[in-house]
Each structure stands twice: as structure tokens, then as C-alpha cells.
Chains A and B, each alone.
Chain A
Amino acid sequence: MADYEPVLLKNISLEGSTDLKVYESAGGYAAARKALKMTPDEVTEIVKEANLRGRGGAGFPAGVKWGFLPKDREVTYLCVNADESEPPTFSNRVLMEKDPHQLIEGTIIAAFATQAQKAFIYMRVEFHEPFHVMQNAIDQAYAAGYLGKNIFGSGFELDVFIHRGAGAYVCGEETGLIESLEGKRGCPRIKPPFPAVEGLFHKPTVVNNVETLCNVPHIIERGAAWFKSIGAEGSEGPKLFCASGPVNRPGCFEGPMTITCRELIEGDGYGRGMRSGKEVKAVLPGGISMGVLTADELNMVMDFDDPRNFGLLGLGTAAAVIIDQQQDIRKVLANITRFYSHESCGQCTQCREGTSWMDKIATRIADGVGRTEDLDLIVDVTKNMGMMPGLSICGLSDGAAFPIRTIVQKFRGEFEAYIAEQPPTSTLRVLSTFN
């Protein structure tokens, strides 16, 4: 898309893009000034009208989420979800490292719309550079009077704090994040009550992703109609895509949600094709949790709806990892099962036991002692966990079930070929080591 004009990433190549002055000279904080002259409900209405769907993975409209807050509340909290832990996603890191004021501006507007006086940016602890960049930007914003008391003379007051996590994937789930903020284990809560009614410290709370909030200033500045003119119906607005793996230009790109997965890999403005000698075997197009595409399915449109037509859970984080033909699909599966068995918080039995047993089975297959019936067993386990059959508290187990099931189903022939090649004595050999 040569004619696409970047919105979210427009500042990142500017010299000193993290500095307040540079951000302001590029038109920054105009939207926040504009928003604070409106009423909170007007701001919420514009964001609702724009149909800004959450960029963190679930795709829930942000304006609707804000609208769920009870009218008679006294204290509201805003949490910014910067716990980007989904492999292989790194778009939030780019946003925070290169353009921290865009996020602060989005936070100010969202906090105003929800009437939150405290915002916590929950940032994963592995983000050291983004942390220092963000904290310096927050300090600058305080010094300029853009945070603190009486922002832009409107009487609105907001404090923004960074809360550093400590290494747990599940803290990216909104109620897990809230538990972690309260100093507890990051175990997600049973919903309802939803955070909008009872969240942080039992107060109404809104949790928004970094990229979602970065969209907000542009919506306020240029209007809902402009926002809806980008992309297609149901998937409006600019979106960040990540591409990693053996492509010529791995990185974070911006585009409309009308591009296909093939364009993300091969497009000139995106990944620019596979490295020489490499061919696509599989793509995990929405972070690993959404499921896998084969090389024949690359025409999938990277929007909120089309992934379902390919057996995927959804768009997720729109971060694609490309797996080339030289990779052993058994090792890919074992990597993914290990991730979920390690990151399951352990509250729900199906998830705790399911992910760890699938990891044991997948490791066994990867070690060259798999059985054909193991493949059916894995598929069976994935169908008996998750929120969709109503068996778990959070979506982590759905996120585990989809990639594992789609890999086993879509690459079944390959698994079976490996298993058929195993020498008949190999199972016995491994079993004998257990005694």
C-alpha cells in the first residue's frame, strides 16, 4: 500500500521523537486540548462512533467499554495494558520506545472520557528501554503541566504512574493485570463483575491496550468519519502489524486492515518477501494464540472477521511469525505447548492440566517417540478447555487450544510421516530410561 499515510507511526522516524517539543511541533497534544474542552460523554461518543476496536487481541470496542462504567461512580481507574507478552508481538514496544507522548496523550483523553484521576501503565519488567523512555516522557509532561492538576486549564486532574510487572504472560489479561496491580498473583478473576463495575481496588476500572489508546488522539483530532474511512467495515482504522521470522524486512508496520497475510509477508511496505532459499511452511498470523495458517491459506485478510473462516480464534495482536520449510513442525508445536504450560496461572484445572499434558505429549512427539493416537489425544484435550466451552475463567486456555489444535490438524500428514519414520524400537528405548 504505497498510498497509505501512516498515522500511529508517523513520528517514529523524526529526530528526537521521544521529546515533548518534537511531538508538539508535529501537532501533538492538540487533540488532548480539544478533547478537554468537550464533555466526557461527547468524547466517549466520538470513540464509540469511530468503532475503535481494542487492539490488544479481543477486539472489543473501546468506546463501548468506557460506556459500561456506572454513572454514579466516585473513583475510576484507567489501566494501560503494556504487558505485551504475546509472542511474537512487539508493536507496543515500538510505540512506547519511539513515540511515548502519543500514548500519554491517548491516556489523558481516555482518562478524561472515563473521568479517571489515576492511570497506571502496567508495563512488563523486561521492557527496560521503553520504561525509561516512558518515564522520562511522563516527567516531561508533568513539568509542562500536561499531567497533574488542572490540565490545559480545564480543571481536570490526572496522575499517571508506571507499574512494572514481574514476568507473567497472564497479567496481560485485564483482570489478571488488576490482580497483579493489587500486589497479588496475577490470576484472572471470574467475570462478572466486569472491571468496569468492580476492578482495581473494587472501583470501576477501564483497561485499554497501548495501541488502542494511541489511536484515540487521532480520532479526536480528525473525527470518526476519517477513522472509518480507513480499512473495511467492522475493522476500521489504522493497525500495526508485526512480521518476524526469515523475511527480508522483519519489523512493525502500519496499514489498513484490508491487507492479506501474503501482503504482510511479501508486500513492499511490509516484510518484502522471504529470505533467499526460504519458503513459507506455516504462519502464525495473530500472535501465537490465534492459530496457524498453511502456505496455501495466505490470502486471509488481516481483519477482525476473516481469520475465523480459516479456523483461527481471531485477529489477535496481528503479529505474524513466519515459519520456513526447514523448520521441524514437531519442534514448533513443542515450543508452543511449553509456552502455555509455563504461563497458565493454574486456577482452572482444564488449563493447568491440559496445557501441561499437551506439553508432555508434544515433547514426546518432538523427541521422536510419538504415537499416531497422540495427535487425536491432543485435539481432544484442546476441545475440552477454554472459555468457549465455558470451562475456564479467562481466555488463556482458548489461546492455547487454537494454535495447538490447528497445528495438529493442518499439519497432521507431516506429524504422521515423522511418526511412521520412527524405528519401531524407539518407544521401548525411551520407556526403558524411566526406570
Chain B
Amino acid sequence: MAWETIDRNKPVTAKEAAPLLTEAIKDKIRVFFDRYETKRAVLLPALHITQEALGHVGPQAMEEIAELLEIAPSEVFDTIGFYTHYWTHPKGEKVVVACRSISCQVMGGDEVLEACKKHLGIEDHGTTSDGKYSLMTEECLAGCDHAPCLLINEKLHEKVKPEDVATLLEDANNDKIEMPRSDLYDGPPGGSVDSDSKAADAPAGE
């Protein structure tokens, strides 16, 4: 195999004209400042918020987060590299996570993963050419009582059979869960502690 050479004449990140983190995103992150003693502790929530808004957290977004949290960009990069949930390059609209742990393997998880690969035409950590789906495997999703499991964005699909995978992946609503939402990550920006915004719709008499 040949070594891949790096072109050192080009900057590692080509700066885009506009900042990626809008004020709305920054406001959402700032809500968390009160909760922790240090701004660095807001890093995980900040990365979640940024990834949800932008789809992934690239080098420029990392630098902007670092500036907001008053830490070094290398510290953001250091943390982001540790966790499997963050994407530093673009991912599909929906991420299909196949559980590969022991319960799912015993109950036929490998076949489900193969069916996903075949249907989407991609390998582990691949993204379909239309940008709709990314596929990855992860350790135990804690749904072992209904193994094998597939997680599509927020929705956990249980007792998945290989022959059902095609129908499941064609379903447009396969990634949504129907339940009352908290205001934490996807609510209106700029709210203070969650209780304030929620107090209004709490049941009467409380």
C-alpha cells in the first residue's frame, strides 16, 4: 500500500465566509452555562445541539464552539474524538444504528445488519449517495428484552426480522417517537431552566 501524502500548502480547514453557529444555536448552548461550574462542562450539550442543527460537527464548528466556551479548539477535538455519537464529517439524514452486542447476536442481529447493508448498499459507517441514510453499529442499546434492535435516529425498533428491514427502511416515519417533548435540546432557544417554560402546561391544581 502506498502512503497518502498530505498537501501542507493548503490550510486544513478552508474557512467559510459565514460562521456556522448562528445566534440561535449559541443561545441554546448558553442556557446550559448556569448548570455547571465551568464552561467546558457545557461541551457535550454544545456538541449535541450543534450536531442536531448542522448535521455534524466539522473543524470550523469545533473552533466556534471552543470560542464560545472559552477553551482551546484542541480540547474540543480531544473530547469529540472519544465519543461514538458525534460525527465530524457529514452524515445521512437518518442514522441507522444496529446493535451488535451479545443478546442481539444470539437473537439474529448479524442477519439484520446484513439486511440493512444490502438494502442500503453501504457498509458500516457508510452513507447512501442520496444522503438519506447512514449506517453504523453500536454496542448494547439496552433493548435486549426485544432483541434484535435497530435504532433509527430517536426511534428504537425492536424484534426486527431481516425480512422486515426493507419495509422498515422505506417507511418515512421510522425515526420519530410520538411523545410529549421536553424543551431541552429541541425547544425554542433562549429559555431559562426547563421548569419555567413548562410550568404553563402542567396539569391544573399543581
Give A contacts to B, CB under 8 Å.
20-21, 84-90, 92-93, 118, 124-129, 131-133, 135-136, 138-140, 142-144, 147-148, 159, 161-169, 180-187, 201, 203, 242-246, 250-252, 284, 288, 319, 321-324, 327, 331-332, 335-336, 338-339, 342-343, 345
Contacts and interface: CB of A to CB of B under 8 A. Distances in A.
Chain B interface residue count: which class?
35 or more
Interface string B42-62: 111101100000000000000
A343 B40 contact: no
Nearest to A339: B139
A136 B184 CA distance: 10
Contact of B144 (A90, A139, A180): A90
Interface stretch (B7-15, B113-121, B191-199): B191-199
A162 B48 CA distance: 13
6 contacts: A140-B206, A165-B83, A167-B85, A182-B36, A183-B44, A185-B81
Contacts of B179: 129, 132-133, 136
A250 B199 contact: no
Nearest to A181: B41
A164 B155 CA distance: 17
A47 B44 CA distance: 33
Given A86-B140, A129-B179, 11 more contacts: A87-B101, A87-B140, A133-B179, A135-B194, A166-B83, A183-B44, A245-B147, A331-B105, A335-B105, A338-B100, A345-B82
Contact of B102 (A93, A243, A252, A284): A284
B142 interface: yes
Contacts of B142: 84-85, 89-90, 92-93, 124, 126-127
A245 B107 contact: yes
B140 A167 contact: no
Contacts of B44: 163-166, 180-181, 183
A289 to B, nearest CB: 11
B97 interface: yes
A59 to B, nearest CB: 21
A11 B129 CA distance: 47
Contact of A166 (B47, B146, B155, B156): B47
A253 to B, nearest CB: 10
B14 to A, nearest CB: 27
A244 B103 contact: yes
B74 interface: no
Name the residue in A183, A243, A323, A324 with the highest tally of chain B Cβ atoms < 10 Å from its Cβ: A183
Interface in B110-163: 138-147, 151, 154-156
A336 B179 CA distance: 35
B38 A136 contact: no
B54 to A, nearest CB: 16
Contacts of A126: 97, 138, 141-142, 151
Interface in B10-33: none
A6 B46 CA distance: 40
A365 B51 CA distance: 40
A284 B95 CA distance: 30
Contacts of A323: 102, 106
Contact of A21 (B101, B146, B203): B203
Nearest to B198: A139
B102 A335 contact: yes
Across chains A and B, which 8 residue pairs bring their CB atoms closest together, nearest first?
A142-B195, A135-B182, A183-B43, A166-B83, A143-B202, A87-B140, A244-B144, A88-B144
Contacts of A342: 139
Contact of A201 (B38, B138, B198): B38
B139 A162 contact: no
A185 B156 contact: no
Given A20-B206, A132-B177, A319-B144, A142 B82 contact: no
A136 B180 CA distance: 7
Contact of A162 (B106, B145, B151, B184): B184
Contact of A138 (B47, B146, B194): B194
B38 to A, nearest CB: 6
Nearest to B48: A164
Contacts of B82: 168, 185-187, 345
A140 B202 contact: yes
A324 B145 contact: no
A245 B198 contact: no
Contacts of A187: 82
B40 A183 contact: yes
B171 interface: no
B139 A343 contact: yes
B154 A128 contact: yes
Contacts of A245: 103, 106-107, 147
A139 B154 contact: no
B2 to A, nearest CB: 16
B144 A321 contact: yes
B155 to A, nearest CB: 7
Contacts of B89: none
A251 B144 CA distance: 8
A203 B184 CA distance: 26
Given A164-B48, A332-B102, A139 B182 contact: yes
A182 B40 contact: yes
Contacts of A124: 142
In this complex, the member of A166, A185, A186 whose beta carbon has the largest number of chain B beta carbons within 10 angstroms is A166
Contact of B156 (A129, A139, A169): A129
B78 interface: yes
A185 B79 contact: yes
Contacts of A168: 82-84
A86 B198 CA distance: 33
Contacts of A185: 78-79, 81-82
Contact of B38 (A144, A182, A324, A345): A182
